[in-house]
A and B are shown apart, each in its own frame.
Chain A
């Protein structure tokens, strides 16, 4: 089994996020076009809507630790993962990464649905800067771990979301990055695969790698994380002991719910 060794010690800083803000600029109507630009030129209306997806977030991730990230949909979790992975440049603030990051989304996944799982793994890997030889070395293990069997050579558009997730996780976990980011991808897998991936994550944690796990599965997070960060509307609300943060989050959700119920009444 090819294994990339890890040169980082437990407790070393893996990711340091300082005062991070990120704004998306999107067109007001679905797509920016020359036509709409020409039309609005006369009226002088603004073309774009600005979304503050993250504002002034500070966060550290240490090697040998698992950080859980929780928060409602649209809170900015995926955005933060993309900034850490170097895909989105921060609008403000700094992100320092000490090591090689792999996002679960990053490698090959669903990159081209017309092509087979195998092709997607290769293309994704090459795009992420791996060499063909490196991918060759890992491919068997990826295919084994994903348990996709012959489906690995079927076009990815024929995959179920669970199969997608399997392949994605297998790629991310077998290439053994220093820092592994898993963004809500385990939720679609079946129980057996979930268990298997949890074990793999614990293994990586034991191997002094850093993991960031975005999930809505609170039990899993309580089980595996050393730390949990709660993000709400682009702000870091609370970070610390998993039980404490998750309890606070769930309490907040309950309050939200009952307020909504009150409103109905």
Chain B
């Protein structure tokens, strides 16, 4: 797979070009879109809770941007195999390169938003600490999880072509169940217990702690996130590899 990285890079690049993210306006939109979204959600929080502060806004943007990395991986990953039909029917190559390229596209879209967040947190004057380096392993765990999810869902979509239309409901549900519009620390313990079933929960919690509060994330959260990511990645790749040979006769 590593030897085919040029294909993955080139394929993701052409995907991005097709979505016009090689133009100035495309890139601007890449930043503007999540910013507008975070603005809308912030408004929602202010209206519901009556008050809010800048830290809350920072938490919302940081979490939302990372959430969109996963959501974008899912939404472009889901159809990666079925739209690659022509290539699959005519070339012998590792099929997994298709969902992997989808995740590369999602990560590429994520990076500028990370820059935007760093600007925001500087403007707000949040503390800068060494603990923020925790963001790197947390981000890597997120990418591993995104890969696993994209690989699994692209394969499922071969058998159930309407998964793509259910996906928005799934991501919406995940958005509300994850500590994005609220902070994990403010949750009622009784409800929070159930969050062990949400793979995004420990990731987003750790991300907010390091990126927003500049603290080290709870070790248990990081380990839980890692366990989820490894588990889903292994499940996804196993599922994909065991089905891959069948794709060509099923597309």
Q: Are the chains A and B members of one assembly? A: yes
Could you tell me which B residues sit within 8 Å of A by CB distance? 3-4, 6-7, 10-11, 14, 18, 86-93, 97, 159-163, 166, 245-246, 248-250
Could you tell me which A residues sit within 8 Å of B by CB distance? 22-26, 31-35, 37, 82, 85-89, 103, 105-107, 109-112, 114-115, 119, 122-124, 126-129, 131-132
Q: Which residues of A contact B246 (CB under 8 A)?
A: 25
B84 to chain A, nearest CB (A): 9
Among B10, B14, B86, B91, the most chain A Cβ lie within 10 Å of the Cβ of: B91
Q: Which residues of A contact B245 (CB under 8 A)?
A: 89
A106 engages B91 (CB within 8 Å): yes
Q: Which residues of A contact B159 (CB under 8 A)?
A: 32
Chain B, Cβ-Cβ closest to A51: B249
Query: Bound state CA distance, A122 and B249, in angstroms?
Result: 26
Given A114-B18, A129-B4: 9 more A-B contacts, CB < 8 Å: A25-B246, A31-B161, A32-B159, A32-B160, A87-B89, A87-B92, A111-B87, A123-B7, A126-B7
Q: Which residues of B contact A89 (CB under 8 A)?
A: 245, 248
Query: Bound state CA distance, A109 and B250, in angstroms?
Result: 21
B162 engages A129 (CB within 8 Å): no
Known: A115-B14, A122-B10. A110 touches B86 (CB 8 A): yes
Chain B, Cβ-Cβ closest to A81: B90
The 5 lowest CB-CB distance pairs between A and B, nearest first, are A126-B7, A86-B92, A33-B162, A105-B90, A34-B160
Q: Which residues of B contact A124 (CB under 8 A)?
A: 87, 91
| Chain A contact residues, majority secondary structure | loop
Query: Bound state CA distance, A32 and B159, in angstroms?
Result: 6
B162 engages A35 (CB within 8 Å): yes
B14 engages A34 (CB within 8 Å): no
Query: Bound state CA distance, A24 and B246, in angstroms?
Result: 9
Known: A25-B250, A34-B163. A115 touches B18 (CB 8 A): yes
Query: Bound state CA distance, A105 and B89, in angstroms?
Result: 9
Query: Bound state CA distance, A25 and B246, in angstroms?
Result: 9
Among B7, B160, B248, B249, the most chain A Cβ lie within 10 Å of the Cβ of: B249
Q: Which residues of B contact A115 (CB under 8 A)?
A: 14, 18
A34 engages B10 (CB within 8 Å): no
Q: Which residues of B contact A87 (CB under 8 A)?
A: 88-92, 248
Chain A, Cβ-Cβ closest to B84: A111
A126 engages B91 (CB within 8 Å): no
Among A25, A82, A127, the most chain B Cβ lie within 10 Å of the Cβ of: A127
B10 engages A126 (CB within 8 Å): yes
A34 engages B166 (CB within 8 Å): yes
Chain A, Cβ-Cβ closest to B250: A25
Chain B, Cβ-Cβ closest to A47: B159
Partner of B90, one of A31, A32, A109, A112: A109
Q: Which residues of A contact B14 (CB under 8 A)?
A: 112, 115, 119, 123
Q: List 25 A–B pairs whose Cβ atoms lie within 8 Å, in order of A's numbering.
A: A25-B246, A25-B249, A26-B250, A31-B161, A32-B160, A32-B250, A33-B160, A34-B162, A34-B163, A35-B162, A87-B89, A87-B90, A87-B92, A87-B248, A89-B245, A106-B91, A107-B91, A110-B86, A115-B18, A123-B7, A127-B7, A127-B87, A127-B91, A127-B97, A128-B93
Partner of A129, one of B89, B90, B93, B249: B93
Partner of A127, one of B93, B160, B162, B166: B93
Known: A111-B87, A114-B18, A132-B6. A24 touches B92 (CB 8 A): no
Chain B, Cβ-Cβ closest to A127: B93
Q: Which residues of A contact B93 (CB under 8 A)?
A: 127-129
Known: A82-B248, A119-B14, A123-B14. A131 touches B6 (CB 8 A): yes
A209 to chain B, nearest CB (A): 19
Q: Which residues of B contact A112 (CB under 8 A)?
A: 14, 18
B90 to chain A, nearest CB (A): 4
A180 to chain B, nearest CB (A): 14
Query: Bound state CA distance, A109 and B248, in angstroms?
Result: 17
Chain B, Cβ-Cβ closest to A78: B89
Q: Which residues of B contact A126 (CB under 8 A)?
A: 4, 6-7, 10-11
B6 engages A82 (CB within 8 Å): no
